[in-house]
């Protein structure tokens, strides 16, 4: 059945025909569904609360220009995991896109991450790699990294105050809506500085963008006769109709599953401001960070640059300004905040998840279901491991589901 087909509301009897229920159609959920369907010949029902599949990786053409926009922020695929790379190439070809980021500070554009070009430009003269290392080490010696009490001190101990104040302080304050002096030093365990001119953002072995877009890729994962996808269905509206014991993979928010009984986990969320601009090229690159604290957004995406091979309009382009803030109760969660209080709550939810696995055959996965920040390749890798180690043994041999939140 087509992934976009939405039959009438599910009744209790309809669940009986499925071997596995998957809640959420992001990369974790669809990987599990595809493996169960193709490798074990099991019938899988995917329930998706939104009106489309794909979770936050969903993309769609902007109507006026036809430029493919990632609705929930830019998604860049990269991995060094050959198993993941081989798996995803079953469903899409990839372009040779390599992600490069630039950052705007006080009206000047710098390459990012910090490298020899940025150091030379920022300090106004050429440095050899050894000279640049010595300069940064001298500036970072202001604070011993072992004694850092907050994010600001930790960052200064790694890269020095001048680079911190220009490229980290304002951006971090906007990301977290918090003064860096009030943030934990654990948020920045390292700040990479490259002492060469390499400005490739990722160092992974494999990198690229799906040539037909993310939505086409995701639809191909769901395009199996054993998989049925129901969009616009909230799992919590139909949970009581699912026969107790039906194997279920839940990828929604962990705290929501348990009705916030141990408290609400903290998340950051993103807001997006999209605009069609009457020019063929707005900023010359796909992503421009804005380091100045008085600029309210963190970055601007220009999506035409993700696919220079496509025949997009020459007189219009699409830009999306991205804003970061703490998530409220009804916001879409993006990044776990992971404070000490969050970690205490998470431990209580971990214990509840083990009980739920035994009593209702529910397994928790994905970024929301485990309260872990997972890139796309990490979510897919986790799903493949979870399928091998937990789901396949359960579906094939009746082994009990392990309720831990790790693959």
Name residue 288's beta-bridge partners.
102, 300
Which entry of 19, 165, 212, 375 is annotated as an active-site residue? 375
Q: How far is the CA of 59 from the CAs of 16, 70, 99, in angstroms?
A: 33, 4, 18
Which entry of 96, 125, 130, 190 is annotated as an active-site residue? 190
Would you call 299 a catalytic residue per the annotation?
A: yes
Q: How far is the CA of 66 from the CAs of 57, 61, 62, 269, 307, in angstroms?
A: 18, 5, 5, 27, 12
Would you call 230 a catalytic residue per the annotation?
A: no
Which entry of 299, 304, 360, 367 is annotated as an active-site residue? 299
The CB density around residue 316, as the number of other CB atoms within 10 Å, is 18
Q: Is the peptide bond before 113 cis (omega within 30 degrees of 0)?
A: yes
DSSP 8-state secondary structure symbol assigned to residue 324: E
Would you call 375 a catalytic residue per the annotation?
A: yes
Would you call 268 a catalytic residue per the annotation?
A: yes
User: Token pair for residue 144?
Assistant: 């011993």
Residue pair 274/62 in contact (Cβ under 8 Å)? The answer is yes
How far is residue 204 CA from its own chain's centroid? 16
Which entry of 100, 268, 321, 348 is annotated as an active-site residue? 268
Q: Report the first-to-last Cα separation within the chain, whole angstroms.
A: 29
Computed over its alpha carbons, how large is the radius of gyration of the chain? 23
Q: How far is the CA of 348 from the CAs of 260, 355, 356, in angstroms?
A: 11, 11, 13
What distance in Å separates the CA atoms of residue 33 and residue 106, rounded to the nearest whole number? 48
Which entry of 153, 207, 228, 322 is annotated as an active-site residue? 322
Burial class (CB within 10 angstroms; exposed 0-12, middle 13-18, buried 19+) of 400: exposed
Would you call 190 a catalytic residue per the annotation?
A: yes
Residues serving a catalytic function are 190, 194, 268, 299, 322, 373, 375
């Amino acid at each position: 059945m087509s992934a976009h087909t939405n039959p009438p509301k599910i009744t209790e009897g309809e669940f009986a025909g499925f071997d596995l229920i998957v809640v959420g159609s992001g990369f974790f959920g669809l990987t599990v569904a595809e493996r169960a369907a193709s490798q074990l010949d099991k019938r899988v029902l995917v329930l998706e609360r939104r009106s489309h599949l794909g979770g936050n990786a969903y993309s769609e053409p902007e109507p006026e220009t036809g430029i493919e926009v990632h609705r929930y922020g830019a998604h860049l695929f990269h991995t060094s995991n050959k198993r993941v790379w081989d798996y995803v190439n079953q469903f899409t070809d990839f372009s040779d896109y390599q992600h490069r980021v630039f950052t705007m500070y006080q009206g000047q554009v710098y390459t990012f991450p910090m490298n020899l070009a940025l150091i030379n430009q920022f300090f106004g003269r050429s440095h050899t790699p050894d000279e640049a290392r010595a300069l940064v080490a001298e500036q970072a010696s202001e604070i011993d990294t072992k004694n850092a009490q907050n994010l600001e001190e930790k960052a200064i101990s790694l890269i020095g105050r001048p680079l911190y104040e220009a490229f980290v302080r304002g951006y971090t304050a906007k990301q977290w809506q918090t003064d860096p002096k009030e943030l934990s030093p654990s948020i920045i365990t390292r700040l990479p500085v490259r002492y060469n001119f390499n400005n490739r953002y990722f160092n992974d072995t494999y990198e690229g963008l799906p040539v037909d877009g993310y939505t086409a890729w995701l639809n191909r994962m769901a395009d199996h006769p054993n998989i049925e996808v129901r969009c616009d269905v909230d799992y919590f509206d139909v949970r009581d109709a699912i026969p107790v014991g039906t194997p279920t993979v839940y990828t929604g928010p962990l705290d929501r599953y348990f009705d916030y009984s141990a408290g609400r986990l903290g998340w950051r969320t993103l807001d997006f401001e999209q605009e069609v601009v009457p020019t063929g090229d707005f900023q010359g690159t796909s992503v421009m960070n804005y380091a100045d604290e008085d600029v309210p957004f963190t970055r601007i995406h220009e999506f035409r640059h993700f696919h220079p091979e496509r025949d997009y309009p020459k007189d219009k382009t699409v830009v999306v300004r991205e804003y970061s803030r703490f998530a409220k109760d009804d916001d879409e969660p993006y990044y776990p905040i992971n404070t000490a209080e969050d970690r205490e709550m998470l431990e209580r939810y971990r214990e509840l998840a083990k009980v739920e696995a035994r009593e209702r055959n529910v397994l928790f996965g994905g970024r929301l279901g485990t309260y872990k920040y997972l890139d796309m390749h990490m979510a897919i890798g986790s799903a493949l491991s979870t399928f091998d180690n937990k789901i396949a043994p359960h579906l094939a041999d009746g082994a009990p589901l392990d309720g831990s939140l790790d693959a």
